[in-house]
Amino acid sequence: MTETGLDASPGTGRPPLPGPRRTPIPALPAHHPDPVIDIVVPVFNEEADLEPGVRRLHAHLRATFPYPFRITVADNASTDDTPRIAARLADELPEARWLRLTEKGRGRALRTAWSRSDAPVLAYLDVDLSTELTALLPLVAPLVSGHSDIAIGTRLAPGARVVRGPKREVVSRCYNVILRTALGVGFSDAQCGFKAVRREAAERLLPLVRDPEWFFDTELLVLAERAGLRIHEVPVDWVDDPDSRVDLLPTALADLRGIARIARRPARTALLPAPAVLPPATRARRFAAAAALAALAHLLLYAALRPATGAQSANALAVLVCALAGPAAHRRLTLPVALLLTGGTLAALHHAAPSAAHRTELAALAAADLAVALLRSPFLRTGAARAASRRRRTGAAAR
């Protein structure tokens, strides 16, 4: 088990932040009416898994948990039989309740349920119970004792045992590498659906979290780490759900857009210190990682779209999707250049070799992506300089 958030964020050059004062939560009898922990189970169209998952969770907590608990089923706009099942479980299980939202979004469901809860520890886990429940007590104990502010399950730390397909394994590891490279985070697994937070920490962080969907977890953790809150990690046993509702490509693009938003606009509030200027080497590494990520996404989308739409249409769609997933500055300054260079490269290739192989097209596009990246750096520096100049002029006028 590890903790992060004790020192300054990596690469910032700031001194360690003083940790918030945490008081242990008083011990209460196991069946006390006021819960110590409120475990939220966010669901969308989970009529098959909801009842067995909640009943198994309830039985485990009743048999092994030393703290009073509540289970909250947070239904975010299900269209199947999920609401009826959730209502029946709330009637039959004394420690269960449910709430229904009219809009989709796991982050929206968690924000609503946690904001309405009066429990001193707030948690959530996925309804499929992919994470072994024996990790639940080690997850919440450091929060109850006052040792930590947030606790997360991790599938990527030593001691974790994970069963899942190679596709999801690669996606998960790549995502967390991108996080560490682009944002300099210290925690190891942002996406494991197994987390808990002290209520006072949640009250400070939730107003700052913008994302209402899958990026909610990552944004919460990044903000917590930048604020100097202590994050406790618990290696978990985890088995992939083959019937997962997560659509990998749209979710991955939304996550990349969220990373770009946080990277370029760190929150500036009383909770979070202003970000320090990064050294040139760090900025160069982050730019290179972002460029490589954009090129990979472009090539993967092109390969997927090419058989159905043709070369030029597939390229244009792939470039546009990647641009929408990235910062607005990239769209404004470099989208025309990217379309011109990649489309022109394909046109030149097909003129020289009309029957060029698919692999040759990908190699040519990779070279064009490199050229776009080299051109983008001065464009973005110029745009940043202009924005800074505008801010200085605005501030001078205000004075």
Predicted local confidence at residue 23, as pLDDT: 72
Is the per-residue pLDDT at 9 higher than 70?
A: no
Strands 121-125 and 194-198: antiparallel
Predicted local confidence at residue 264, as pLDDT: 74
Predicted local confidence at residue 197, as pLDDT: 97
Predicted local confidence at residue 283, as pLDDT: 72
Predicted local confidence at residue 148, as pLDDT: 94
Per-residue confidence at 244, pLDDT binned at 50, 70, 90? low
Predicted local confidence at residue 396, as pLDDT: 42
The yes/no answer on whether domain 2-264 falls in CATH 3.40.309.10 is no
Contacts with 188 (C-beta within 8 Å, 6 or more apart), sequence order: 2, 154, 156, 157, 176, 233
Per-residue confidence at 386, pLDDT binned at 50, 70, 90? very low
Is the per-residue pLDDT at 263 higher than 70?
A: yes
Predicted local confidence at residue 124, as pLDDT: 97
Predicted local confidence at residue 74, as pLDDT: 98
Predicted local confidence at residue 330, as pLDDT: 54
Is the per-residue pLDDT at 276 higher than 80?
A: no
Bigger pLDDT: 294 vs 152 = 152
Is the per-residue pLDDT at 2 higher than 70?
A: no
Quote the pTM value.
Answer: 0.66
Is the per-residue pLDDT at 260 higher than 60?
A: yes
Bigger pLDDT: 217 vs 379 = 217
**Mean predicted confidence (pLDDT) in 29-41:** 82
Q: What are phi and psi of 46, to 5 degrees?
A: -115, 40
Whether 231 contacts 201, CB under 8 Å? no
**Tell me: the pLDDT tens digits for 148-194?**
999 999 999 999 999 988 878 888 888 888 888 888 899 999 989 99
Rg (CA), the chain: 23
**Mean predicted confidence (pLDDT) in 332-361:** 87
* 233 beta partners: 2, 152
**Tell me: the pLDDT tens digits for 66-107?**
999 999 999 999 999 999 999 999 999 999 999 999 999 999
Average pLDDT over all residues of the chain? 83
Q: How far is CA 280 from CA 259, 265, 284, in A?
A: 20, 18, 6
Whether 229 contacts 255, CB under 8 Å? no
Predicted local confidence at residue 18, as pLDDT: 46
| Residue 321 burial (CB count, 10 A) | 17
Predicted local confidence at residue 379, as pLDDT: 45
Predicted local confidence at residue 253, as pLDDT: 81
Percent over 70 (pLDDT), the chain: 79
Please state the domain extents for the chain.
2-264, 280-398
Is 255 catalytic? The answer is no
Is the per-residue pLDDT at 391 higher than 60?
A: no
Whether 152 contacts 231, CB under 8 Å? yes
Residue type, 211: D
Catalytic annotation, pick one of 75, 128, 189, 217: 217
Predicted local confidence at residue 245, as pLDDT: 60
**Mean predicted confidence (pLDDT) in 383-395:** 46
Per-residue confidence at 28, pLDDT binned at 50, 70, 90? low
Per-residue confidence at 336, pLDDT binned at 50, 70, 90? confident
Residue 194, token pair as written in the block? 């197994």
Predicted local confidence at residue 271, as pLDDT: 58
**Tell me: the pLDDT tens digits for 189-230?**
998 999 999 999 999 999 999 999 999 999 999 999 999 999
